[in-house]
Structure formats: structure tokens, C-alpha cells
Amino acid sequence: MAAQNTVKPPVRGCITNIQRFSLHDGPGVRSTVFFKGCPLRCLWCHNPETFSFQPVLARDEKRCIGCGSCTEACEINGLRLSDDGFAYDAEHCRHCYACAAECPTGALAPLGREVSVDEVLADVLPDRGMYQRTGGGVTLSGGEAAAQPAFALALIRALHAHGIHTALDTCGHVESETFLSVCREADLILFDLKHAEDAEHKRLTGRDMRLIRRNFQLLSWEQTPVEVRIPVIPGLNDQDMVHQAIAGIIRQNSNVKSIVLLGYHPLGGAKVIGLNERRTELSITPPSRESLAAMAAAMAARTGLPCTFR
């Protein structure tokens, strides 16, 4: 009997991009790998291009000149450009992206790409000296990196083999066993807490807090240090009573070492997302530095932990 081939194909993951020279995704200077796919739909999301777990077709309306090159290139007639607007048949799309290749202005483009661990390493390893000089490393963000656990684990282990510090930026809404398996491998957890009450959390993000709260509490039994990140969205979660309740959740986890308040900014609203995806338009004034400073001082007093803001 011929020997069976037991060589496994390399693990692949889906990402949107790799951001080098990042200063806000963990300690030191870092590279941030943005994983595609997220279980939440936060109204204020700064990275809406990561919503879907697969590569999708995206269209930048500002670049489209209505030439029709894309519709002619589509073999399944899945694109339609008319006086009524632009229509895309996502259900039958073959993801060949011939339409994007024929677009003369770059208005159509695939959003997301499948990569191997080696391909990511080729992008981040050239900055290894900078990571070492600044105490930096590589952060897995998204989207939700822990929702692609096989690829996240393979990437973390490969980075560790090269002596590179890793951080996992997470919303915490992943099945607990899977979530902990990724967290145990990382050197730092950047854990987002967006609210403290189930109904409001679901209204703002599409999911309640039960799984997130459970995973946050489970992290208190692990060894990996945690930094809590709280997005501050005026009118939605910046009330003092909300922050007081979040502080109560934080105090239950002895592994939390620091807290960062992330002031809302509207940059995510300008990003191109996948065709047929929708999001609510917000009209929100970003919080002032004075209000963020006051919230940070109050959070530090309530938790006994250092709290900064940006």
C-alpha cells in the first residue's frame, strides 16, 4: 500500500491590510495585522471594511465614472449600472474580480485577501530591529482575530519563534474555549469594553454582553496581562453611570494592568466597505480632550489602575 501524504497545507487567513509603524495598538512601535470578519456591528466602527469574514467586492462611488467597463467584464451579469444606481449580485459572484481589473479608475476593488503566515512574516520581519529598540511588536486586530483561531495561533507562534512580542486586540465575542486558546499564546490582550448593560450593548453593537463578560472574567484566571480599551462615543456610552458600571466589571479581573479611553473620531465613516453592506450614519461631535481627561481621572480613581486617553 502506498504511503499516504500527511503533509498539511499551510494555514491561511483573511486580512484587509498590515499597518506598519503603528503607535496605538500596544507598547512600542508595532505592525498591526487587520483580520477580516467581526461578530459585532458597532455603530461607530473605525474599521467597517473588516465586517465580512471573506473577501468582498467594494466600490468607491467618488471614483466611479459610470463607464460600464465592470459590467461588460462580469461573466455572470452580476453587475448592473443604470439610472437607478449600481446593483451587485453578491449571491452568485465568483470572486474572480475581473470587473475590478477592468475598472480604469480603481473604483472597484477586492476588499480583503487570503494570506499565509509566511506572507505576513515577509511584511513584518523587516521591522524586527525597530520592535526590539522600542519594546514593540505585532498586534493582531480586525475585525476579530480570535474568530480565525487557526491562523491567529499559527501567526503568533511564528512571531514568537522570531522573538517578536504579540498583542491580541479583541472584542471578546468568541466561543470561550477558542478565545482562551488564542489569548494564552499572546503576550498582551487589548480587550474592548463598550458598555456594561446587555440591552444597550446589543443596540449599539448587535450583540449582548453575556459572552463578552464571561470571557473577560475567564481571563482573570489566565497569565496573560490585559489592557482594557473603552471607546468613548458621546451620547451613546459616555455617561458617568455607564463608566461606573464598566469600572465594576474591570475590578473583577486582577489581570488588568491599564485602561485606555479611545475618543470617537469619524474616520471610519469615510472608509469604503463591501457592496450590499449597510451601516448607520452617525452625527457625533468627538469628545474634547478636557472631557476625556476628566473621564480618565474618574476611571483611574474607581479602578485603582492607570488610565490614559487618546
Residue bearing the bigger pLDDT, 111 or 234: 234
Among candidate residues 67, 90, 111, the one where a domain is terminated: 111
- Does residue 2 lie within any of the structural domains? no
- Does residue 5 lie within any of the structural domains? no
pLDDT > 90 in the chain, percent: 74
Shared-domain flag, residues 99 and 206: no
Shared-domain flag, residues 98 and 214: no
Shared-domain flag, residues 196 and 249: yes
Q: pLDDT of 147-166, one tens digit each?
A: 999 999 999 999 999 999 99
Helix/strand/coil for 174:
coil
CA 29, 188, 205, 112 dihedral sign is: positive
Would you say residue 46 has pLDDT above 90? no
Shared-domain flag, residues 105 and 118: no
Shared-domain flag, residues 97 and 233: no
Domain of 159: which CATH number?
3.20.20.70
Shared-domain flag, residues 86 and 177: no
Q: pLDDT of 81-112, one tens digit each?
A: 877 777 888 888 888 899 999 999 998 888 89
Domain of 80: which CATH number?
3.30.70.20
Would you say residue 270 has pLDDT above 70? no
Among candidate residues 65, 93, 111, the one where a domain is terminated: 111
How far apart are alpha carbons 61 and 63 in whole angstroms? Answer: 5
What average pLDDT does this structure show over 38-56? 90
Shared-domain flag, residues 249 and 294: yes
Judged by average pLDDT, the poorest of 6-15, 31-40, 147-156 is: 6-15
How many independent structural domains does the chain possess? 2
Average pLDDT, the chain: 92
Shared-domain flag, residues 120 and 201: yes
- Does residue 66 lie within any of the structural domains? yes
Would you say residue 168 has pLDDT above 80? yes
What average pLDDT does this structure show over 222-230? 97
- Does residue 1 lie within any of the structural domains? no
Q: pLDDT of 240-264, one tens digit each?
A: 999 999 999 999 999 999 999 999 9
pLDDT score recorded for residue 192: 98
Phi and psi torsions of 52, nearest 5°: -75, 150
- Does residue 4 lie within any of the structural domains? no
Ordered alpha helix ranges (H), the chain = 69-73, 98-102, 117-124, 128-134, 149-161, 176-183, 198-205, 210-218, 240-250, 289-303
Among candidate residues 111, 126, 148, the one where a domain is terminated: 111
Shared-domain flag, residues 218 and 71: no
Shared-domain flag, residues 98 and 129: no
Shared-domain flag, residues 100 and 241: no
pLDDT score recorded for residue 2: 53
**Domain ranges, residue 116:** 12-53+112-309
pLDDT > 70 in the chain, percent: 95
pLDDT score recorded for residue 80: 86
Shared-domain flag, residues 232 and 253: yes
Q: Is the pTM of this model over 0.85?
A: yes
- Does residue 88 lie within any of the structural domains? yes
